[in-house]
Structure 1
Amino acid sequence: MSDSQSLFSHLVELRSRLLKALLAVMLVFLCLAYFAQDLYHWLATPLLRVMPTGAQMIATDVASPFFAPFKLTLVFSFFVAIPVVLYQIWGFVAPGLYRNEKRLIAPLLFSSTLLFYAGIAFAYFVVFPLAFAFFTSVAPEGVTISTDINSYLDFVLKLFFAFGLSFQIPIAIVLMCWTGVTSPAQLREKRPYVVVGVFVIGMLLTPPDVISQTLLAVPMWLLFELGVLVGGLYYRPEEDEPDQDSSENQDTP
């Protein structure tokens, strides 16, 4: 098979797997579309619980009450279908991997999915109640809290992605240790810089309050420590190979 034919077959397979992943997302979306309003109410619950009595969310655009819940449902469908999406990615790249690489990548894909879900759950159940309680408590006197449903949706989706991606730190560290980019010892030496870095990232990715920043920075630091611990199991220090010329000289009588 020529290179052009091989490339064409890979492109056809990539297209097929992308379509399957997209189909999985759309099937989940069709199943959840009927519950779009309920999903949005569930998402808004952390804010609604801490809003002052009589306050409510508003829609500043005419079509927002319709489109905002369906936008949430589409994103939520992607979250639900992530295992299928990752399976299609795995099916595409697995034939080109060695056996030892397959043993590593498959568990990492599974762990990455669980960590992404864990980051979203942590944001919803821990960060949102504390952050929204803080925001509503510092409103100036005479200011009525009426959050736009589109603005709220964009805000929480950004936090979902921020926490979901930040929880991938152990996966990144294990890959770096396994490929030899760095070592657990080198990562431990850089721990002070990492601590400062996670707080800077927490400041950039979260709302401008100490609570949200700390609630992102501390888990990131703990995940870094977990990644270093697990990365030590996969790190293979490079052993000095015998010099080929010297070995040949030894074989020569």
Structure 2
Amino acid sequence: MGEHRASDERVATDGGTSTAAATADDAETDVGGISAPTEDQEMPLADHIEEMIKRLAIVIVIAGSVSIVVFPLADQAITFLWYSVLPEGEIAQPRVYGPLEFIFARIKVASLAGLIVALPVMVYQTYRFMRPGLYRNERKYYLAAVPTSLVLAVVGVLFAYFVVLPAIFTYFLTYSQDAGAIAFGLGDTFGLMLILIAYLAIVFQIPLIIMLAIMMGITTRDWLADKRLYFWGAFLGLAFISSPDPTGMAPIIIALTMAGLFEGTLLVLKWVGR
């Protein structure tokens, strides 16, 4: 009798353990069978702000460190980019109209390098900030986005270098040649080059942003497709507001690029059935 009671007690204990484990498993699983966040705890607002500032400081420090490393090499980068975009000859000679113009150009080159490296770092730090509230599959998507962000930024830089800058400066030379003698100021001209390169590095993050938003359930492809006209208008407005080109050529190219990336991403999602 004693053995039977002990056996029954062991069964009851085991059953209770199994039930508790099942309850714990159920607590970590939502209706769709996706593992829920195990670290999702309420934090005071001050702690959230402190954490966000710390993550942002890491991004700024890394961007600044890269800029400092690149700064001594900025002269070679300026010469290479300048004579790669502008035609050879006397017309392409840069004019310096201020004592600090060349220094500012070097700072801009170094800052651009810091920005490109900071993009994936910012994605990762955003992931670290949001990680306690993310589902396991969402964490996987975010981690995969870190190298993807760097690849897209490099593609955006190459697109600006091979497509956008040659088209814009060919247009500038075409409509200016009959108006007077052309002289390229180092500060304004090189600033325009770097701003367009930086814009395109950021613009090419659009596919990544759309993918993450859909995979994390924030939006759907159908909703984005239904609202495409609003997005096109927003792209055009942002391009004209942020571009320093008064002729309108650069904003149009940037807006078309943004719309093309948006539509291309939706097309790929439709093709893969997501």
**TM over 0.5, shorter chain:** yes
Q: Which runs of 5+ in 2 are unaligned?
A: 1-40
Match of 2:66 in 1: 28
CA distance in 2, matches of 1:182, 1:17: 26
Task: Determine which of 136, 143, 147 is the counterpart of 1:106.
Answer: 143
Indicate the percent of aligned positions where both proteins have the same amino acid: 27
- Name the TM-score, length of structure 2 as normaliser: 0.67
State whether residues 138 and 216 of structure 2, in contact with CA within 8 Å, keep that contact through their aligned partners in structure 1. Answer: no
Cα deviation for residue 123 of structure 1 reads 0.8
Residues 1:143 and 2:208 aligned together: no
- Which amino acid in 2 is paired with 1:123? A
Match of 1:38 in 2: 76
State whether residues 59 and 150 of structure 1, in contact with CA within 8 Å, keep that contact through their aligned partners in structure 2. Answer: yes
CA distance in 2, matches of 1:195, 1:44: 32
Q: Which runs of 5+ in 1 are unaligned?
A: 236-253
CA RMSD of aligned residues (A): 3.6
State whether residues 138 and 215 of structure 2, in contact with CA within 8 Å, keep that contact through their aligned partners in structure 1. Answer: no
Distance 1:141 1:171, change over 3 A: same
- Name the TM-score, length of structure 1 as normaliser: 0.71
Cα deviation for residue 124 of structure 1 reads 1.3
- Which amino acid in 2 is paired with 1:32? V
CA distance in 2, matches of 1:44, 1:228: 36
Match of 2:194 in 1: 157
- Trace 1:1-253 onto structure 2 (pairs within 5 A): 4=44, 7-8=46-47, 10-49=48-87, 53-141=90-178, 143-178=180-215, 182-189=219-226, 207=245, 212=250, 215-232=253-270
CA distance in 1, matches of 2:70, 2:228: 44
CA distance in 1, matches of 2:224, 2:97: 48
- Which amino acid in 1 is paired with 2:61? L
CA distance in 1, matches of 2:229, 2:67: 44
Distance 1:102 1:217, change over 3 A: same
Larger Rg: 2
Distance 1:129 1:91, change over 3 A: same
CA distance in 1, matches of 2:126, 2:219: 26
Distance 1:211 1:33, change over 3 A: closer
Distance 1:200 1:17, change over 3 A: closer
Cα deviation for residue 102 of structure 1 reads 0.9
Cα deviation for residue 99 of structure 1 reads 0.9
- Which amino acid in 1 is paired with 2:62? A
CA distance in 2, matches of 1:56, 1:199: 33
CA distance in 1, matches of 2:52, 2:247: 43
CA distance in 1, matches of 2:71, 2:83: 19
Secondary structure of the corresponding residue to residue 223 of structure 1? helix
- Which amino acid in 2 is paired with 1:27? S
Secondary structure of the corresponding residue to residue 183 of structure 2? coil
CA distance in 2, matches of 1:199, 1:21: 29
